Amino acid sequence: MAPRYQEYVVNALPLIFFLALLAITMLAAVYLPAYLLKRAVQQPFPSHYAKILRKNIPVYSRMPADVQLQLKRLIKQFLYQKKFIACDGLQMSDEIKVTIAGRACMLLLNRSTPVYPALKTVLVYPGPFVVPRLETGIGGVVTHAHQSLSGESWSDGRVIVAWDHVQRRGGEQAEGHDVVLHEFAHQLDSETGVTNGAPALGSKAKYERWSRILSEEFAALQQALALGEDTVIDPYGATNPAEFFAVVTETFFEKPWAMARRHTALFEQFRAYYQVDPRDWS
């Protein structure tokens, strides 16, 4: 009987080895990514990264120490998980990556939320880039056109931005505009599966209040523009609810005092959602 038992064991060894290898592979697939991410986030924040933040994101220096630490942790995770691609001859650098990651992660402060889970790639052009468009004219005639953009958010895991617009040096961009905040607000909006100006809010009551206040403010913006009035919120926000959310996000972070005075209820909705008050940094 012993030889047969030994033969059985010998014949079973390949299966045992395969099952053990499969178990190890499955455990590695579950635990290794989390371990590697934890290790990346625990690495010291490079001193030249902090210099980049102070230079290109001035409000960073006015943030409380605990918020700065949050932002640096989020940046490290963003840089570890997302791929940056330089386009049209641009040379990728730490300044480009840290600046974009820093602005994008400002939208995640004080919130228990993943770091843009659907986003895989950030494409960066040196300046405005041209994208094809299909336009439907009178009678349903479809024509091919091209549009020059400074940023775009895609639902397939890509964000595209123009570096010259990201830099915002001198007076190159009007106050209140930030292409990174705008495009990453679209990413937050799309996390519900629909890009409609209502990000994940967590409860029916919050959605109802959000819908009521933003609908009223959206209509008020359209009316103000029709009357030729000056507005705190950029006119592009009147395009549709998704653009309204993205534009108001820019306004909230870039012109918080003016927004709080002229659009108090709207400001409070965004303060509750983003869990920060940018007036504390101005």
What CATH number did the domain enclosing 162 receive? 1.10.472.150
Average pLDDT over residues 245-274: 97
Q: Provide the pLDDT confidence category of residue 221 given band limits of 50, 70 and 90.
A: very high
> In this structure, which amino acid lies at residue 140?
G
The Cα 52–Cα 74 span in angstroms is 15
pLDDT of 143 over the 60 cut: no
For 156-184, the pLDDT digits (tens) are 899 999 999 998 743 444 567 899 999 99
Domain match, 126 and 208 both: no
pTM (predicted TM-score): 0.84
Domain match, 139 and 43 both: yes
Domain residues for 123?
Answer: 32-182
Domain match, 166 and 209 both: no
- Higher per-residue pLDDT: 243 or 4: 243
Domain match, 40 and 142 both: yes
The CA angle 94-53-189, to the nearest 5 degrees, is 90
pLDDT in the model for residue 91 = 97
Residue 147 Rama label (left phi>0; alpha psi -120 to 50; beta) = beta
Q: Is residue 6 part of a domain?
A: no
Domain match, 165 and 276 both: no
Average pLDDT over residues 182-208: 94
| Structural domain ending residue among the three candidates 182, 209, 230 | 182
Average pLDDT over residues 84-103: 96
Kindly report which listed range (115-129, 159-173, 206-220) carries the lowest average pLDDT score: 159-173
Q: Provide the pLDDT confidence category of residue 35 given band limits of 50, 70 and 90.
A: confident
Average pLDDT over residues 184-203: 94
Average pLDDT over residues 57-79: 96
Q: Kindly report the CATH number assigned to the domain that includes residue 281.
A: 3.40.390.10
The Cα 60–Cα 129 span in angstroms is 29
Q: How far apart are the first and last CA of the chain?
A: 85
| Structural domain ending residue among the three candidates 182, 201, 234 | 182
- Higher per-residue pLDDT: 151 or 62: 62
Q: Provide the pLDDT confidence category of residue 38 given band limits of 50, 70 and 90.
A: confident
Average pLDDT over residues 228-245: 96
Please tell me the total count of domains within the chain. Answer: 2
Average pLDDT over residues 190-216: 94
